[in-house]
C-alpha cells in the first residue's frame, strides 16, 4: 500500500547538547570556586549531570505518538571559545532527517549553537533556562532563524503536536478528481481559488485525475477497455477486490443498528470506496476530494448507482481526510483538524439558527429535511440561543481516535430511488460534547476557528444530505459574520483543540478569524 | 547550661566522620557490604545527614539526598559558616549536581579510580556508587 497514513508521521527531534569546560584553573567574572571545582574534570562531570537531567526532562516531554526522538549529539568546547569545523560537522550529521533541534547547554556556547543553526537552516527549540534561553532565542529570532522558546516543558509537549501537524501538511498529497475545473467546483466556488497556494503555503501537493476516468474504473470491466483511456491498463476492480468489497459490505450492514438499503445498493457504494482507494494507492495520495453536483449532472452517478458519501466517511475514519463537493478549502481544513486532533473529522453546510423577537428563524423545510422533522427539531431546540447547524451526509462511526470501536450507526440511502449509502449518527448521544471547527478562506490567507457544544442531531431517521448536528457557540451573530468571508462547509472534530488549531494557523502564516 | 553547637562546629564533627569512613575505605579489608557501609557513612557525613533523615526522605538516590542536604543546611544556617559551595560558574548549575559531583570525584580521587563523566552521572544511588568504586579498584581501565 502506498498510501502514507498521517498517523504514521512523527516529528523528528534531535537533542543537541553543547558544553563549555575550562582547560585551566582560574577564577573570574563568570567562574568562581575553590579546589576541585575549578578543574576540567569537575566541569566535564557537571556537564554530564546537567545533560542527564535535561535529557530525562526532554524524553518525558516528547510523546512517542508525536515525536521521534533521535539520538542526542553532544559537543564540548573549552574556554578559548573557538568553534572548529569538526564541531559543526559532528552536529550536522544526519540533519536531512531532522525536523527540529532541541538545544541544551552546560555553560555558555551560545555562538556555537547560532553558527550551527545558520549552517543547517533547521528549526530549533529550547526550554527556559536562566540566561541561556533568552540569549539563544533573541540571537536566533533577530537573525530570522526559526526558533521556539518554551516557558515550560509542558508548553513544549503541546507545541510538538502543532509542529507535527505542519509536517503532516507538508507530507500530504491530495487526489483531486476533477470535472469542470481543477480550481473550484460549481457547487463549492467558495473553496480555495488557487490550488497552487495550497502547495506554496503548506507544502501539500495535489495530483489531479479526471473524474470520468475514475468513474470508468470503478467497475469490473476489462481494464484495457475503459472509455476515457482505451488501450491503457486501468485500475478496474478485480475478482480479488470483490472479495474484500463483499466482506466490507457485510460488515457495514451487520454492524448497523438499522440498514434501510438493499445489500446490492450498499455494495455499490463500497465499490466506489474501494476503487477510490486503489487510485489513492496508485497516485500515492492520502487525501481525497471529488465534485458532487458537477458530477451528478453527468448522470453517471445515477447510472452507477452510488454517491461519494460513504467513501468520504470511510476515508475519514481511516485517517484519510476526504471532502465533499471538491471543496479544497474544507479538505485542507479537515487535514489540519485531523492532524491536530488525531481523529476523524466531519463537514457540512453550516448556518446559524438565530432567535429574533422570541421566534427561531425557520429551518429549511425543502430539499433536505421533511417538514415534520423540522417542526420536531425546532420544538426540541426550544429557546436555546446561539445555535448553529452543520449538516451533510458524511458522519463517522468513530469520533475520538482512528482506532476507536465504532459507535452505533444506521445506514440509509442518499437518493430517493435507493442508492448512495450514507451513515447516520445520533449526535444527541454526545450532547454536551465540545467540538472544534475551522475553515480556510478562498484566498488561502485566513483561518476561521471556533468552538461549540453539541445539542442534538438533525436527520438521523431521514435520507439524503440531511445528517446534521446542532451545536451552541459563544455568539452566533459573530459566528455568522466571521463565517461570511470563509465559506459554507465547516469541518469539525470532537474535542477542544481551538488553541492548537490557532497555533497551527499562526505557524502557517494564516490570519486567524476566531468566533 | 548547655551551649548549642554552631553549624560550623557540627560540620567539623561531620567532617571527622567522613574522614573516618574514608580511612576505612582506603585501609580496611572490606567486603562489598562493608564497602557499601563505609561509602554510605562517608556520603551521609558529607551531606550532613543522619540515617533517620535518610529514612524520612525514603530514598537512596544521591541527587535527592543532596537536595535534602541543601534544605537542611539552609534551615540550620547561622553566621558561623559561609554556606554556598558555590555556583562555580555563571552557568545555571544546580547545588544538588555540585554536591553529587564533589562527592563522587572526592571518592574516585581518594581511591585512585577514574570514571568517565557519563558513567559517573549514571551512578544514581549510594549503593550504585559504592559498587562501582568497589569493582573498579585495581582495574587498569579505571586507573587514575
Residue among B91, B100, B105 whose CB faces A106 most closely? B91
Is B89 at the interface with chain A, CB within 8 A? yes
State yes or no: pLDDT of B137 exceeds 50: yes
Question: What are the chain A neighbours of B94 within 8 Å (beta carbons)?
Answer: 53
- The continuous run of DSSP H or E covering A147 comes out as strand A147-150
Residue A37 has which C-alpha cell?
571545582
Torsion over CA: A359, A488, A167, A274 (sign): positive
Is B120 at the interface with chain A, CB within 8 A? yes
Is B106 at the interface with chain A, CB within 8 A? yes
pLDDT of res. A390: 95
| Cβ-defined contact of B90 to A51 (cutoff 8 Å) | no
Question: What are the chain A neighbours of B97 within 8 Å (beta carbons)?
Answer: 46, 49-50, 53
Percent of chain B with pLDDT over 90: 69
Taking the CA of residue A13 and the nearest CA in chain B, the distance in Å comes to: 22
CATH code 3.40.50 region(s) in chain A: 6-168
Q: How far apart are CA A44 and CA B117, in angstroms?
A: 6
Give the pLDDT band (50/70/90) at residue B6.
confident
Taking the CA of residue B92 and the nearest CA in chain A, the distance in Å comes to: 6
Question: What are the chain B neighbours of A41 within 8 Å (beta carbons)?
Answer: 105
With CA atoms as reference, the chain A residue closest to B94 would be A50
- The continuous run of DSSP H or E covering A114 comes out as helix A110-120
Q: How far apart are CA A165 and CA A132, in angstroms?
A: 28
With CA atoms as reference, the chain B residue closest to A30 would be B90
Residues 6 or more apart in contact with residue B4 via CB below 8 angstroms: none
Residues of A with CB under 8 A from a CB of B: 20, 22, 29-34, 36-38, 41-53, 105-108, 129-132
> Beta strands A100-106 and A11-21: pairing type?
parallel
> Beta strands A73-78 and A11-21: pairing type?
parallel
Q: What is the 3-state secondary structure (H, E, C) of A452-467?
A: EEEEEEECCCCCCCCE
Fold observed for domain A6-168: Rossmann fold (3.40.50)
| Cβ-defined contact of B121 to A32 (cutoff 8 Å) | no
Residue B114, CB half-sphere, CA atoms under 13 Å: how many? 7
- The continuous run of DSSP H or E covering A130 comes out as none
- Cβ atoms A213, A229 nearer than 8 A: yes
Taking the CA of residue A128 and the nearest CA in chain B, the distance in Å comes to: 11
DSSP A228-241: SSTTS------HHH
Question: What are the chain A neighbours of B86 within 8 Å (beta carbons)?
Answer: 32-34, 37
Q: How far apart are CA A229 and CA A505, in angstroms?
A: 41
Residue among B63, B85, B101 whose CB faces A46 most closely? B101
Residue among B92, B102, B117 whose CB faces A48 most closely? B117
User: What single DSSP character describes residue A31?
Assistant: B
pLDDT of res. A372: 85
| A244 to A10, A201, A271: CA distances (angstroms) | 30, 38, 10
What are the tens digits of pLDDT across the range B50-71? 999 999 999 999 999 999 998 8
**Residue A197 CB coordination number (10 Å):** 17
Chosen for mutation from A20, A24, A45 (greatest number of chain B CBs closer than 10 Å) is A45
| Cβ-defined contact of B88 to A31 (cutoff 8 Å) | yes
State yes or no: pLDDT of B2 exceeds 80: no
pLDDT of res. B80: 73
Q: Is A496 helix (H, G, I), strand (E, B) or coil?
A: coil
Residues 6 or more apart in contact with residue A306 via CB below 8 angstroms: A218, A268, A269, A271, A272, A419, A420, A421
Question: What are the chain B neighbours of A107 within 8 Å (beta carbons)?
Answer: 89, 91
Q: How far apart are CA A440 and CA A337, in angstroms?
A: 11
| Cβ-defined contact of B88 to A33 (cutoff 8 Å) | yes
Question: What are the chain A neighbours of B101 within 8 Å (beta carbons)?
Answer: 42, 45-46, 49
Is B82 at the interface with chain A, CB within 8 A? no
User: What single DSSP character describes residue A428?
Assistant: G
Q: How far apart are CA A320 and CA A74, in angstroms?
A: 39
- Cβ atoms A515, A450 nearer than 8 A: yes
pLDDT tens, residue order, chain A (515 aa):
678 999 999 999 999 999 999 999 999 887 878 888 899 999 999 999 999 999 999 999 999 999 999 999 999 999 999 999 999 999 999 999 999 999 999 888 999 999 999 999 999 999 998 888 999 999 999 999 999 999 999 999 999 999 999 999 999 999 999 998 889 999 899 999 999 999 999 999 999 999 999 999 999 999 999 999 999 999 999 999 999 999 999 999 999 999 999 999 999 999 999 999 999 999 999 999 999 999 999 999 999 999 999 999 999 999 999 999 999 999 999 999 999 999 999 999 999 999 999 999 887 665 678 888 888 898 999 999 999 999 999 999 999 999 999 999 999 999 999 999 999 999 999 999 999 999 999 999 999 999 999 999 999 999 988 899 999 999 999 999 999 999 999 999 999 999 999 999 999 999 999 99
Residue burial A391-408, b: 16+ Cβ < 10 Å; e: rest: bbbbbbbbbbebeeeebe
Give the pLDDT band (50/70/90) at residue B86.
very low
Q: Kindly report the CA angle at B48 between B44 and B54, in degrees rounded to 5?
A: 55
User: What single DSSP character describes residue A36?
Assistant: G
State yes or no: pLDDT of B87 exceeds 50: no
Residue burial A198-225, b: 16+ Cβ < 10 Å; e: rest: beebbebebbebebbbbbbbbeeeebee
Is B110 at the interface with chain A, CB within 8 A? no
Chosen for mutation from B61, B85, B88 (greatest number of chain A CBs closer than 10 Å) is B88
Which residues is A390 bridged to in the sheet?
A350, A469
Q: How far apart are CA A163 and CA B54, in angstroms?
A: 44
**Distance from chain centroid for Cα A502:** 13
Residue among B85, B88, B105 whose CB faces A41 most closely? B105
Residue among B86, B90, B91 whose CB faces A37 most closely? B86
Residues 6 or more apart in contact with residue A365 via CB below 8 angstroms: A371, A374
Amino acid at each position: 500500500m502506498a498510501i502514507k497514513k498521517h498517523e504514521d508521521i512523527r516529528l523528528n527531534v534531535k537533542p543537541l547538547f553543547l558544553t563549555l569546560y575550562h582547560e585551566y584553573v582560574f577564577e573570574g567574572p563568570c567562574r568562581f570556586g575553590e579546589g576541585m571545582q575549578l578543574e576540567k574534570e569537575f566541569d566535564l562531570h557537571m556537564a554530564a549531570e546537567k545533560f542527564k537531567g535535561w535529557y530525562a526532562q526532554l524524553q518525558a516531554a516528547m510523546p512517542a505518538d508525536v515525536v521521534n526522538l533521535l539520538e542526542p549529539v553532544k559537543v564540548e568546547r573549552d574556554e578559548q571559545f573557538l568553534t572548529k569545523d569538526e564541531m559543526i560537522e559532528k552536529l550536522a550529521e544526519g540533519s536531512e532527517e531532522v525536523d527540529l533541534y532541541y538545544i541544551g547547554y552546560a555553560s555558555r556556547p551560545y555562538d556555537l549553537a547560532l553558527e550551527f543553526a545558520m549552517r543547517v537552516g533547521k528549526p530549533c527549540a529550547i526550554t527556559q533556562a536562566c540566561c541561556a534561553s533568552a540569549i539563544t532565542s533573541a540571537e536566533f529570532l533577530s537573525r530570522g532563524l526559526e526558533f521556539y522558546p518554551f516557558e515550560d516543558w509542558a508548553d513544549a509537549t503541546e507545541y510538538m503536536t502543532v509542529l507535527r501537524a505542519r509536517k503532516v501538511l507538508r507530507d500530504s498529497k491530495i487526489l483531486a478528481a476533477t470535472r469542470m475545473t481543477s480550481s473550484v467546483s460549481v457547487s463549492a466556488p467558495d473553496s480555495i481559488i488557487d490550488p497552487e497556494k495550497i502547495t506554496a503555503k503548506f507544502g501539500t501537493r495535489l495530483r489531479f485525475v479526471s473524474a470520468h476516468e475514475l468513474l470508468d474504473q470503478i467497475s469490473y470491466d476489462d481494464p484495457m477497455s475503459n472509455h476515457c483511456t482505451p488501450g491503457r491498463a486501468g485500475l478496474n476492480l478485480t475478482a480479488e477486490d470483490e472479495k474484500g468489497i463483499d466482506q466490507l459490505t457485510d460488515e457495514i450492514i451487520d454492524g448497523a443498528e438499522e440498514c434501510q438499503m438493499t445489500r446490492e445498493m450498499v455494495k455499490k457504494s463500497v465499490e466506489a470506496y474501494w476503487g477510490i482507494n486503489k487510485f489513492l494507492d496508485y497516485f500515492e495520495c492520502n487525501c481525497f476530494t471529488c465534485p458532487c453536483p458537477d458530477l451528478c449532472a453527468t448522470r453517471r452517478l445515477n447510472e452507477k448507482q452510488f454517491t461519494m458519501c460513504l467513501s468520504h466517511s470511510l476515508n475519514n475514519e481511516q485517517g484519510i481526510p476526504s471532502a465533499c463537493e471538491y471543496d479544497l478549502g474544507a479538505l485542507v481544513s479537515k487535514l489540519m483538524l485531523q492532524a491536530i486532533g488525531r481523529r476523524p473529522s466531519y463537514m457540512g453546510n453550516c448556518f446559524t439558527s438565530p432567535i429574533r423577537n422570541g421566534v427561531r428563524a425557520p429551518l429549511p423545510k425543502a430539499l433536505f429535511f421533511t417538514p415534520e422533522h423540522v417542526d420536531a427539531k425546532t420544538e426540541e431546540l426550544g429557546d436555546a440561543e446561539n445555535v448553529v447547524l452543520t449538516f451533510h451526509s458524511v458522519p463517522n462511526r468513530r469520533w475520538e481516535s482512528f482506532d476507536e470501536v465504532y459507535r452505533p450507526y444506521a445506514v440509509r440511502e442518499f437518493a430517493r430511488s435507493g442508492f448512495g449509502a450514507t451513515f447516520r449518527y445520533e449526535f444527541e448521544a454526545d450532547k454536551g460534547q465540545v467540538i472544534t471547527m475551522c475553515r480556510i478562506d478562498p484566498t488561502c490567507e485566513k483561518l476561521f476557528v471556533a468552538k461549540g457544544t453539541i445539542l442534538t442531531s438533525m436527520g438521523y431517521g431521514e435520507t439524503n444530505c440531511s445528517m446534521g448536528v446542532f451545536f451552541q457557540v459563544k455568539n452566533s451573530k459573530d459566528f455568522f459574520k466571521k463565517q461570511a468571508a470563509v465559506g459554507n462547509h465547516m469541518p469539525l472534530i470532537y474535542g477542544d483543540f481551538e488553541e492548537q488549531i490557532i497555533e497551527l494557523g499562526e505557524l502557517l502564516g494564516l490570519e486567524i478569524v476566531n468566533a | 547550661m548547655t551551649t548549642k553547637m554552631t553549624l560550623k562546629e557540627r560540620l567539623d564533627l561531620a567532617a571527622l566522620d567522613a574522614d573516618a569512613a574514608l580511612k576505612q575505605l582506603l585501609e580496611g579489608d572490606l567486603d562489598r557490604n562493608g564497602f557499601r557501609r563505609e561509602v554510605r557513612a562517608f556520603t551521609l557525613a558529607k551531606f550532613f545527614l543522619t540515617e533517620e533523615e535518610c529514612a524520612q526522605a525514603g530514598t537512596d538516590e544521591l541527587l535527592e539526598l543532596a537536595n535534602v542536604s541543601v534544605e537542611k543546611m539552609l534551615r540550620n544556617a547561622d553566621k558561623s559558616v559561609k554556606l554556598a559551595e558555590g555556583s562555580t560558574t555563571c552557568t545555571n548549575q544546580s547545588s544538588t549536581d555540585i554536591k553529587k559531583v564533589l562527592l563522587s570525584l572526592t571518592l574516585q580521587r581518594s581511591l585512585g579510580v577514574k570514571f568517565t563523566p557519563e558513567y559517573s552521572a549514571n551512578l544514581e544511588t549510594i549503593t550504585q556508587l559504592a559498587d562501582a568504586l568497589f569493582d573498579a579498584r585495581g582495574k587498569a581501565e579505571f586507573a587514575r
